[in-house]
């Protein structure tokens, strides 16, 4: 049913789903890119603990010897384990994280600007994790992104969080340009917003979509960023009105996106046409007019 208050041609959405962001890292043959790319940030960090890893659970999660589980902040990974004897991106991401940790202890940190350490709904610590190598301290999240195993997600709030996010994005762009890891797989290429069928084909998967914003509308508590005129078919991004200030503070005021070419990352849902909900500014990047 068409959303009340929407202009004809704009796509309405009545239910919002949690958007997720993925980061993919693939195991590269030869020397690891991670060793050559120490984390580049001047943001003050607070050390939570130095600990031994008991086991690596997936490409972004590991268990400590004391039983606590840690979820790397700032990235997301795919969970495709592969088929027919071929390891999928999820399997490769897990192997990459295990290789990066090796026999090293990990240093767990969080942004000093954050009053306390966050956790997810599974009670996993959401922190930034590092290992010490001969070339310096290496961010595990950044290394995974630099090798092409992960997508960038939210690295934290405030100016320091945005600095970390920009550093991760730079690593992701370099991996994408070099077609490392998942970026060399056609299934994970950036999808075109002007081709809604192409976007809908990856429904339920975290992906990147790029296109020009046709219009920005509001209805109730939701802001609709429209990439086409046919609300039942075209690609749309939604932002909850209560989150508008966070986007504006990051230089992404929704109304100013109209006419701009943007890249959006998140899980593709279907509500009339393909749709992504943007919960955080890190999910949207302006790439041109």
- CATH class, 33-179 region: mainly beta
Domains 33-179 and 187-288 share a fold: yes
Report the alpha-carbon distance of residue 235 to residue 195 in Å, rounded: 8
- Segment 74-83 shows an average pLDDT of 78
Domain boundaries in the chain? 33-179, 187-288
Which residue, 197, 253, 203, is CA-closest to 223? 253
Determine the Cα–Cα distance for residues 75 and 179; give it in Å rounded to an integer: 18
> What's the pLDDT score for residue 109?
93
Question: What's the confidence (pLDDT) of residue 81?
Answer: 66
Average pLDDT score over residue span 64-75: 94
**Confidence check: pLDDT of 19 > 70:** no
What is the radius of gyration, based on Cα positions, of the chain?
19
Confirm if 3 and 13 have CB atoms less than 8 A apart. yes
- 106-120, 168-182, 230-244: least confident range: 106-120
CATH superfamily of 187-288: Nucleic acid-binding proteins (2.40.50.140)
**Rounded CA gap, 227 and 243, in Å?**
20
**pLDDT score recorded for residue 83:** 66
Contact 263, 231 (CB under 8 A): no
Give the H/E segment covering residue 167: helix 158-177
pLDDT, average across residues 258-279? 94
The alpha carbon dihedral of 256, 260, 264, 269 has a sign of positive
On the question of pLDDT at 50 being above 50, the answer is yes
**For 168-186, how does the pLDDT look when each residue is reduced to its tens digit (9 = 90+)?**
999 999 999 999 998 988 8
Q: Which tops the pLDDT comparison, 103 or 162?
A: 103
Q: What CA–CA distance (Å, rounded) separates 33 from 139?
A: 12
């Amino acid at each position: 049913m068409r959303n009340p208050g929407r202009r004809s041609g704009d796509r309405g959405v009545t239910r919002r789903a949690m958007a997720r962001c993925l980061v993919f890292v693939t195991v590269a043959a030869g020397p690891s890119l991670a060793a050559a790319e120490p984390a580049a940030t001047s943001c003050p960090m607070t050390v939570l603990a130095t600990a031994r890893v008991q086991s690596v659970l997936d490409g972004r999660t590991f268990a400590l010897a004391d039983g606590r589980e840690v979820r790397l902040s700032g990235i997301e990974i795919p969970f495709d384990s592969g088929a027919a004897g071929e390891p999928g991106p999820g399997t490769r991401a897990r192997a990459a994280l295990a290789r990066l940790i090796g026999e090293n202890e990990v240093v767990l940190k969080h942004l000093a600007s954050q009053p306390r350490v966050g956790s997810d709904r599974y009670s996993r610590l959401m922190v930034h994790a590092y290992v010490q190598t001969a070339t310096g301290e290496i961010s595990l999240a950044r290394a995974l992104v630099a090798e092409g195993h992960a997508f960038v997600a939210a690295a934290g709030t405030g100016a320091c969080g945005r600095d970390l996010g920009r550093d991760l994005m730079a690593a992701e762009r370099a991996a994408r340009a070099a077609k490392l890891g998942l970026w060399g797989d056609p299934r994970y290429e950036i999808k075109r917003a002007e081709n809604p069928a192409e976007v809908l084909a990856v429904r339920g998967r975290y992906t990147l979509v790029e296109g020009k914003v046709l219009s920005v509308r509001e209805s109730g508590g939701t802001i609709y960023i429209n990439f086409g005129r046919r609300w039942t078919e075209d690609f749309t991004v939604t932002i909850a009105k209560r989150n508008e200030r966070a986007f504006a503070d990051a230089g992404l005021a929704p109304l100013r996106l109209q006419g701009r070419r943007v890249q959006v990352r998140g899980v593709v849902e279907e509500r009339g046409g393909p749709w992504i909900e943007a919960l955080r500014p890190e999910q949207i990047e302006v790439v041109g007019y």
